[in-house]
Structure 1
Amino acid sequence: MKNLSLHILILLLFGGNNQQAFAESDTLTVGIYHNPPFVIKTEDNNFEGLSIELWENIAQSANLTYRYELYSDFVGILKRLEYQDIDLTINPMDVNDSRVNKFDMTQPYFISSIGVAIPYLNRSPLAVFISNIFSLAFLEIILLLIFVIFVFGFFLWLIERRHNKFQF
């Protein structure tokens, strides 16, 4: 799965232009989109999830006022950030060079390589054995082994053919 980052741009508040913008508006605009388990839109039009809880704890401890602005996708949020229509986003995103050059971003706080494992169809061991014997991967291994044996046999024949005339 991807490196995810909560890029809380609250750090920008402590830099020049954004501090002035925040002083003027007193309310941060937080761009979000539905992306479980990080941002989940509930039936009563509220939001919950990992990123929401983390942001609300940060905002509460820093006495920040904010409002959420819902977008349909991640691209819309990136455009709004770039045009400075929103102050920050709390949805997870990959940290890459082009984004680091455009935005202040935090280090990734969630990295996962989640997978799902299920039993490989309830087949008999004999059926599994036969399917493995007649698979393309097994054929490639056998052909590689034959090639290696042929090459080493050829070199052995080149070296030994004059010294062991009874064998060759």
Structure 2
Amino acid sequence: MKTTFFRLLLLSLLFIPTLTFAQGEGEELIKVGVMDSPPYCIKGAEGNWSGLSVELWRHLADKEHLNFEWVEFDDLKALKKGITDGKVSVSIASNLDGELVDNARFLQHHYMTTLGVGRPIYNKMWNTFRNVFSMQLLWIVLSLSGLLLIIGTAIYFIERGENEDQFGGDRSLWEGIGSGFWWAGVTMTTIGYGDKAPMTLGGRILAMLWMLVALGVSASLTASIVSAIGENNVISFPDDLTDMRVAVPENSPAADFLTDEDYEFTEFKGIKKSLRSLKEQDFDIVVGDATALRYVINNNSNISASVTATNTSPISYAIMVREDSGLYDRLDQHLVKFILSPTYRRMMQEYGNGIH
């Protein structure tokens, strides 16, 4: 009996390592959906992947000793369909847009940003010159000239009889009005050369009223000119988009937002092509993920644009897993610990600031 027992014990000890090895070798290969969307998922020239979400997934997979392979998709809609159809078990390039995906759950979100607007950067001197001769400044000049003409005509008719040296005398009608126009202009600007001054009671009353009104006109004129030739006019987002040619990445949170708000826009495939449209196709503005816009600009020397973040439509990024994959409970606790770590903060600084 003892001999038989020891034989069975020996056989079981030999069998257990063999069984354990077979289970390790048979670990299921997890298909992970990914798409090129810097700085979250960045496809290299040789097909290798990097980026904030990619590095985060690699950390989680290493913690759980998961075998995986990348499955590339063209856009977010195709990626979500891949999750629904079971082509992939994980999506690492998803944003929380409120749209439910069948048989899928989001892990704790790991990055949040907002919509941003990208605008072209022009040569400063040329931009100022162009704005000086804009239609807005032209209307300002014409409106002010009309006001000066009215005041100049009024002072001419009041003063021409008793103030012939300055407004009347041998002057023709248009010469007299021109003298009044000149007086109204120098009075408004407070230069006051002293070459012309009203002498009659009516003329002085008009002069006093005009000087008081001119203080407000001068202040408004200064503000209007600064606004007309300013290089960095602040955009009221999204209200000012009505009169702009807007480019957005296709199937993006920006496209969804502008569609919901009923603004017109043109879609381009990806952030990079959207930004290039500013120069190549004369679009006025690009609306997209503020972090992604900055990253692409900072890592492409041939793209010149500035980015301003808005407080509109926050965008959260999270890893999405199929419920039947059994990965949610295995990964979520690791994720929460990692996104609170100094390592992940350094990753966010690297990719979030666009430093490659």
TM-score normalised by length of structure 1: 0.53
How far is the alpha carbon of 1:113 from its aligned partner? Answer: 2.2
In structure 2, do the counterparts of structure 1 residues 83 and 130 end up closer, same or farther at CA, with 3 Å as the change threshold? closer
In structure 2, do the counterparts of structure 1 residues 127 and 108 end up closer, same or farther at CA, with 3 Å as the change threshold? same
In structure 2, do the counterparts of structure 1 residues 62 and 130 end up closer, same or farther at CA, with 3 Å as the change threshold? closer
Q: Which residue of structure 2 aligns with residue 42 of structure 1? A: 44
**Whole-Å separation in 1 of the counterparts to 2:77 and 2:91:** 12
| Residue pairs, 1:14-163, within 5 angstroms | 26-99=28-101, 102-113=103-114, 115=116, 122=128, 127-128=225-226
How far is the alpha carbon of 1:92 from its aligned partner? Answer: 2.8
In structure 2, do the counterparts of structure 1 residues 115 and 130 end up closer, same or farther at CA, with 3 Å as the change threshold? closer
**Whole-Å separation in 2 of the counterparts to 1:85 and 1:113:** 30
TM-score normalised by length of structure 2: 0.27
**Whole-Å separation in 1 of the counterparts to 2:111 and 2:78:** 22
In structure 2, do the counterparts of structure 1 residues 130 and 55 end up closer, same or farther at CA, with 3 Å as the change threshold? closer
CA contact (8 A) 2:33 2:79 kept: yes
State the identity %. Answer: 21
Letter in 2 for 1:44: E
- Structure 2 alignment gaps of length 5 or more: 1-25, 133-221, 230-356
In structure 2, do the counterparts of structure 1 residues 85 and 116 end up closer, same or farther at CA, with 3 Å as the change threshold? closer
Give 1 or 2: higher helix fraction. Answer: 2
In structure 2, do the counterparts of structure 1 residues 48 and 91 end up closer, same or farther at CA, with 3 Å as the change threshold? same
In structure 2, do the counterparts of structure 1 residues 117 and 128 end up closer, same or farther at CA, with 3 Å as the change threshold? farther
How far is the alpha carbon of 1:94 from its aligned partner? Answer: 2.1
Letter in 1 for 2:61: A
- Aligned residue for 1:76, secondary structure, equals helix
**Whole-Å separation in 2 of the counterparts to 1:53 and 1:91:** 12
CA contact (8 A) 1:38 1:49 kept: yes
- Aligned residue for 2:32, secondary structure, equals strand
- Aligned residue for 1:98, secondary structure, equals coil
Q: Which residue of structure 1 aligns with residue 152 of structure 2? A: none
Letter in 2 for 1:45: G
How far is the alpha carbon of 1:108 from its aligned partner? Answer: 2.2
CA contact (8 A) 2:32 2:71 kept: yes
Larger RCO: 1 or 2 (CA < 8 Å, sep 6+): 1
- Structure 1 alignment gaps of length 5 or more: 1-23, 132-168
Letter in 1 for 2:86: Q
How far is the alpha carbon of 1:60 from its aligned partner? Answer: 0.8
**Whole-Å separation in 2 of the counterparts to 1:35 and 1:83:** 22
Q: CA RMSD in A?
A: 3.1
Deviations 1:27-80 (A, max 9, x none): 100011101000111011100000110000110111000000111111111111
**Whole-Å separation in 2 of the counterparts to 1:80 and 1:44:** 24
**Whole-Å separation in 1 of the counterparts to 2:54 and 2:228:** 52
- Aligned residue for 1:38, secondary structure, equals coil
**Whole-Å separation in 2 of the counterparts to 1:47 and 1:94:** 22
- Aligned residue for 2:58, secondary structure, equals helix
